[in-house]
Chain A
Amino acid sequence: MIRVTLPVLLTSVIGLLLVAAFFFRGMDRVNSDLSEYFNIIAAVAFILGGGNLVRMHLDKVQRRRPGWPYSIVTVVAFLFTLIAGLFKIGNAQGWTGPVEAQGSWFNFTYDAMFNPLQATMFSLLAFFVASASYRAFRARNVEATLLLGAALIILLGRTFVGGLLTSWLPERLAFLSIPNLSNWIMSTVNLAGARAIIIGIGLGVISTSLKIILGIERSYLGGRES
């Protein structure tokens, strides 16, 4: 009973406290202080995660499971970054300087490896957007056709070609120019849809939070009912 009751009670008390902090004066720091406590817990939990990561990959190396050389790369990279950052190797100011100081091994790892790798992964999106658009924007039915039309207008409207294509329109029909239509779709149609989804999400968040605070929803604890 204590294994479920205590977490539920703790969740309820802290949850209600945070809600109360918004409505009562003198509780300004509750939100920020509890956020700080969460950050501390998450930082300590990282030790657990990091330890699990190293153990898992070392086990893979030991048992020569498929892909084990890459596990060596993972462990070496992890330990190198950890040691370079912890001991501030190469920092001109030594241990007193910031961890990301210019010239430090950590800074070099960040600039020469982390930055390009992250940019590479992000740039995959350019290719995936194209292939997803090619597959998804087919006029299968009325709704899909409307989506296709809107997508074409917005894609053109974000470039100078959109303005060029409709530059011949007279002043009184300027609202039909592609850039203006694009702005209208974003600021009216998209706005309405976005607001509706946000309101629905907001209600879902209220409902889920209330269920968790009041202990109605306990699946995240492991599904046991008391």
Chain B
Amino acid sequence: MSAFMDRVGRMDRRWIYLAIALAVIIPLIARLSFPVITTPIVQNIFDKIDGMPEGSRMILSADFGPSTVPENMPMLQAVLRHALQKKLKVYLLTLWATGIPQLDAVEQNVLAKDFPDRLAGQDWVNLGYKAGNQGVINAAFSDFPGAFPVDSKGRDVRTLPIMEGVKRIADFNLIICIGSGFPGTKEWIQFGGDPSHVPVACGVTAVEAPLLYPYYPRQLLGLMGGLQGAAEYEAVLVKHYPEYEARSQEAIQRMGPQTVAHLVIIAFIVLGNLAFFAGGEWRGKRA
């Protein structure tokens, strides 16, 4: 028994990889999903957008690349749907070169499909990508049109109706950053939201989320952490606006495989500890 548990403790990692692969593939194929409860930290973002009057200005920054699309794209789409539902003026932009396709994707998947009546340049604008990391936010702090002189189609922003009255970041009512690294939420808080007293909310990957808790709730009004956060926002959006139930399910569905994978990891951790104690390894390892 001891020898067997010792072998379990030194299991070839490929068995673990196989178990994880099955834990993700099977729920995906079976479309397994579980109920999602929205936590206060995500609810705050929803309540803020839901409570903003029509015509309020919102910056929505897509600061992520293809690698984190599964986590960040559902957040971006859900927040955009909600903002457009509330008839807010949405200013899409990105500080990542790889964020351009993400903005194109939401234009096609959300704006064109769900809100075809909304006019570009009037109800929403895609300001595209601007190089310079936090320098762009710094520049936009005092001169927003100067920092983003043209939109993604090359049109001078000063000719667009949506840019009327927009001179600096302080002229906005909310900043939401959907991001996964640098530049991202921290830079928007430090250089944009905090100095100009504009509320900031964010949606980040699960790895980034713990680092942003120090900013909550003073500098950050809400935080969507990882796929769980995206699923929570989708759940509360669908609860209040059932018309989006069919279109806003990506994160909720992906939580099925994530939940099963978490349980498999927990099982392996427990197995590893059982092997550690039963195999006698702990006698030599106690520090």
Which A residues lie at the B interface, using CB under 8 A? 28-29, 31-32, 35-36, 39, 98, 100, 102, 110-111, 114-115, 118-119, 121-122, 126-127, 129-131, 133-135, 137-141, 148, 151-152, 155-156, 158-161, 163, 179, 183, 186-187, 190-191, 194-195, 198
Determine the distance from Cα of A146 to Cα of B124 in the docked complex, in whole angstroms.
49
Stretch at the interface among B16-24, B76-84, B112-120, B158-166: B16-24
Residue of A nearest to B138 (CB): A32
Q: Are A100 and B100 in contact, CB atoms less than 8 angstroms apart?
A: yes
Q: Are B210 and A190 in contact, CB atoms less than 8 angstroms apart?
A: yes
Q: Does B242 contact A (CB under 8 A)?
A: no
Determine the distance from Cα of A118 to Cα of B104 in the docked complex, in whole angstroms.
18
- For A137, give its contact among B132, B263, B269 (CB under 8 Å): B269
Q: Are A141 and B67 in contact, CB atoms less than 8 angstroms apart?
A: no
Q: Are B263 and A161 in contact, CB atoms less than 8 angstroms apart?
A: yes
- For B20, give its contact among A35, A130, A141, A187 (CB under 8 Å): A130
Q: Does B228 contact A (CB under 8 A)?
A: yes
Q: Does B13 contact A (CB under 8 A)?
A: yes
Chain A residues whose C-beta falls within 8 Å of the C-beta of B109 in the assembled complex: none
Residue of B nearest to A116 (CB): B66
Q: Are B17 and A127 in contact, CB atoms less than 8 angstroms apart?
A: yes
Residue of B nearest to A40 (CB): B131
Q: Are B16 and A114 in contact, CB atoms less than 8 angstroms apart?
A: no
B 178-217 contacts with A by CB, 8 A: 209-211, 213-214, 216
Residue of B nearest to A117 (CB): B66
Q: Are A115 and B66 in contact, CB atoms less than 8 angstroms apart?
A: yes
Chain B residues whose C-beta falls within 8 Å of the C-beta of A121 in the assembled complex: 67
Q: How far is the CB of B21 from chain A (nearest CB, A)?
A: 8
- For A36, give its contact among B135, B209, B213, B259 (CB under 8 Å): B135
- For B36, give its contact among A138, A160, A187 (CB under 8 Å): A160
Known: A114-B66, A138-B273. A187 touches B213 (CB 8 A): yes
Q: How far is the CB of B202 from chain A (nearest CB, A)?
A: 15
Chain B residues whose C-beta falls within 8 Å of the C-beta of A119 in the assembled complex: 66-67, 69-70
Q: Are B66 and A126 in contact, CB atoms less than 8 angstroms apart?
A: no
Q: Does B261 contact A (CB under 8 A)?
A: yes
Chain A residues whose C-beta falls within 8 Å of the C-beta of B55 in the assembled complex: none
Chain A residues whose C-beta falls within 8 Å of the C-beta of B152 in the assembled complex: 98
Q: Are A141 and B287 in contact, CB atoms less than 8 angstroms apart?
A: yes
Chain B residues whose C-beta falls within 8 Å of the C-beta of A158 in the assembled complex: 226, 228, 262
Q: How far is the CB of A18 from chain B (nearest CB, A)?
A: 12
Q: Which DSSP category, helix, strand, loop or mixed, fits chain B's interface? A: helix
Determine the distance from Cα of A133 to Cα of B65 in the docked complex, in whole angstroms.
26
Which B residues lie at the A interface, using CB under 8 A? 11, 13, 16-17, 19-21, 24, 34-37, 39, 65-70, 100-101, 104, 131-136, 138-139, 142, 152, 154, 209-211, 213-214, 216, 226, 228, 255, 258-259, 261-266, 268-269, 271-273, 276-277, 282, 285-287
* 17 pairs of residues in contact across A and B, judged by CB atoms under 8 Å: A35-B138, A36-B135, A102-B104, A119-B69, A130-B261, A130-B268, A131-B17, A134-B269, A134-B272, A137-B269, A139-B273, A139-B276, A159-B263, A179-B37, A183-B39, A186-B210, A186-B213
Chain A residues whose C-beta falls within 8 Å of the C-beta of B272 in the assembled complex: 134-135, 137-138
Q: How far is the CB of B235 from chain A (nearest CB, A)?
A: 11
Chain A residues whose C-beta falls within 8 Å of the C-beta of B101 in the assembled complex: 100, 110-111, 115
Chain B residues whose C-beta falls within 8 Å of the C-beta of A130 in the assembled complex: 16-17, 19-20, 261, 264-265, 268
Q: Are A156 and B266 in contact, CB atoms less than 8 angstroms apart?
A: yes
Determine the distance from Cα of A161 to Cα of B228 in the docked complex, in whole angstroms.
13
Chain A residues whose C-beta falls within 8 Å of the C-beta of B69 in the assembled complex: 119
Q: Are A31 and B213 in contact, CB atoms less than 8 angstroms apart?
A: no
Considering residues B70, B104, B262, B271, which has the most beta carbons from chain A within 10 angstroms of its beta carbon? Answer: B262
Q: How far is the CB of A185 from chain B (nearest CB, A)?
A: 10
Q: Are A32 and B135 in contact, CB atoms less than 8 angstroms apart?
A: yes
Determine the distance from Cα of A131 to Cα of B18 in the docked complex, in whole angstroms.
11
Chain A residues whose C-beta falls within 8 Å of the C-beta of B282 in the assembled complex: 139-140
Known: A110-B101, A122-B68. A161 touches B39 (CB 8 A): no
Extra pairs beyond A32-B138, A129-B265, A134-B268 (4, CB < 8 Å): A31-B135, A121-B67, A127-B16, A133-B268
Q: Are B211 and A194 in contact, CB atoms less than 8 angstroms apart?
A: yes
8 tightest A-B contacts by CB? A35-B135, A122-B67, A32-B135, A159-B259, A160-B34, A115-B66, A131-B13, A127-B17
Residue of B nearest to A127 (CB): B17
Q: How far is the CB of A37 from chain B (nearest CB, A)?
A: 10
Residue of A nearest to B264 (CB): A130
Chain B residues whose C-beta falls within 8 Å of the C-beta of A98 in the assembled complex: 152, 154
Q: How far is the CB of A98 from chain B (nearest CB, A)?
A: 8
Q: How far is the CB of B264 from chain A (nearest CB, A)?
A: 7
Q: Are B265 and A35 in contact, CB atoms less than 8 angstroms apart?
A: no
